[in-house]
Chain A
Amino acid sequence: MHELSIAMEICRITEEAVGPDRLEDVIEVGLDVGIDADVVIDNLEFCLEALLAGPPFGRGRPVIASRPGDDLRVTYLEVDDADQAN
């Protein structure tokens, strides 16, 4: 049930890491989700797919790794760097 709140917090962390002007460039959000983290991975994935596919994002997708323990963590972000490279 609280996966949407968690997904929104993940979006906030993503925005803090890449900045508000580059959210459209986010293509992958990597997560570690512990099996004891009280998170239903399918639900979290569904929420994140919905949030990352729409504004202010657009083409992001979650990549979730299930881990032992209760950790719940954003591990990495992948960003399309084409604009910055030019």
Chain B
Amino acid sequence: MPIKRIEVRERVMTRNDELAAAVRHTLEEAGVPAFNLVSSPGSGKTRLLEQTLADLGDELRMAVVTGDVQTSNDAERLARHTDRLVQAVVTNGACHLDARQVGEALAELDLGETDLLFIENVGNLVCPASWDLGEAEKVVLFSVTEGEDKPVKYPKMFEKASTAVITKTDLLPYVPFDLNRARRFLHETNPDLRVILVSALGGAGLEHWYDYLRSRVNVARAERRSLHTA
């Protein structure tokens, strides 16, 4: 049997990375910072976004793309808190969003009328770390009910994130969660990580989260201005 050998040498993630670069370029041109929210299931991504949409909806024009393995439940929950379009991506079994899905969702959004974009990834602390979506920053959430050692158990996700949000802090009196130990693990994994503590239910810490979002919107606007005047 004559066999032909074809040299390929192609990185498997090349296509996704190209699409992610195009998404990033589109967002930077529009001056829209995108936050890729990642966590294990049940950490409170949707709850934090619900509260953020409710509290900042009059101040910032926020767009949301949600990813779920099945159902558009999260998108429906979020749509109750905003008049703006919430894009639901059902991955049909895939454990992460990819750049193609985000690019297609962006096409439905009016970026000229958007101040910031949230991408709520599939609940999973492993796979989404490997897929660039074209976001400006990864924000990793973990709740006080999960145990403080998440950063050392899933280091890649925490290494790639710029910000860690510790959620459900209203439950701290009731669970054996050592906050100092959690902070130590976070900074051992990623010394540059910004850490924000919130209770979306009780409201504690939300102002820090909102200030962080406002600052990123201001930076993106300034970058856009310099991009267009250069």
The interface residues of chain B, by DSSP majority, are classed as mixed
The segment from B11-19, B41-49, B58-66, B78-86 that touches chain A is: B11-19
Q: Counting CB contacts under 8 A, is A65 at the interface?
A: no
Per a CB cutoff under 8 Å, which of A9, A17, A75 touches B15?
A9
Asked if A74 is at the interface of the complex by the 8 Å CB criterion, the answer is: yes
Most A C-beta atoms less than 10 A away, residue of B6, B9, B15, B94:
B6
A6 partner residues in chain B, CB cutoff 8 A: 12
Chain A residues within 8 Å of chain B by Cβ, number: 28
| Residue of B whose beta carbon sits closest to that of A14 | B8
- Counted as pairs of residues, one from A and one from B, with CB atoms less than 8 Å apart, the total is 80
* Contact A73 to B3, CB < 8 A, known contacts A1-B124, A5-B94, A38-B126: no
Binding site for A on B (CB under 8 A): 1-13, 15-16, 94-96, 98, 124, 126-127, 129-131, 156
Point out residues on A near B: beta carbons under 8 Å. Answer: 1-2, 4-6, 9-10, 12-13, 17-18, 27, 30, 38, 71-82, 84-85
Question: Given contacts A77-B8, A82-B1, could you give 7 more A-B pairs where the C-beta distance is less than 8 Å?
Answer: A9-B15, A13-B8, A30-B8, A38-B129, A75-B8, A80-B1, A82-B2
Could you show 18 A-B contacts with beta carbons less than 8 Å apart?
A: A1-B124, A4-B94, A5-B127, A6-B12, A9-B12, A13-B8, A13-B12, A17-B8, A38-B129, A38-B130, A38-B156, A72-B12, A76-B5, A76-B8, A76-B9, A81-B4, A82-B1, A84-B2
